[in-house]
Amino acid sequence: MTEERWPGVELSAKEFYEKVTTVRFRPEAKFAWSAGEAMSRFLAELQRGRLIARTCDACKRTLFPPRMFCEECFRPTDAWTYVKDTGTIETFSISYLDLDAKRIKDPIYVGVVSVDGASPKMGLMHFFGGVTPETIRIGMRVKAVWKPPEEREGSVLDIRHWRPLREEER
């Protein structure tokens, strides 16, 4: 006697790849993440339109963005203090690629701003606006352009960008 058909279910290559080697499911992924004491306060203050730092009594530095531990003194920092929303461009890049690496006509300006009131070498990475490739320069005095309060969400992007400081603001 010969078998007309083998037992089991025949699958095409398409069915094999779609039904056997692939599993479709929607994960119920939930997570919670604590930003920590210093970063949580920093983000909450951003939503209120303020920049906050931590001071260290031992080295007399003002640490910004704030941290609860002084990496130079190996001890906890001591107090909260506000710093200004003005500063100086430490370094910058002019990018003709957007975040998806697509070419763009009008460039994006990104870089590090050292904020007034914080100690040297305390930089905040951010965007610059109101500048051109010809006008932006290291050492340029800048001021934060805040989103309106109702649009802020406790993010570093509650500041849209940093624009050149006007003569009357100096």
Interface residue list for Zn ion (CB under 5 A): 56, 58-59, 70, 72-73
CB nearer Zn ion, residue 38 or residue 89: 38
CB nearer Zn ion, residue 53 or residue 142: 53
Q: Nearest distance from residue 148's CB to Zn ion, in Å?
A: 37
Task: Identify how many contiguous H helices and E strands the chain contains and give both numbers.
Answer: 2, 10
Which tokens in the block code for residue 3? Answer: 């078998």
Tell me which amino acid residue 149 is.
P
Helix residue spans in 56-111 (DSSP H): none
Q: Nearest distance from residue 95's CB to Zn ion, in Å?
A: 35
Which tokens in the block code for residue 33? Answer: 């993440």
CB nearer Zn ion, residue 72 or residue 151: 72
All residues at 6 or more sequence positions from 140 whose CB lies less than 8 Å from its CB, including other chains? 88, 89, 131, 164
Place of tokens 């001591």: 78
CB nearer Zn ion, residue 118 or residue 144: 118
Q: Nearest distance from residue 139's CB to Zn ion, in Å?
A: 27
Q: Nearest distance from residue 119's CB to Zn ion, in Å?
A: 10
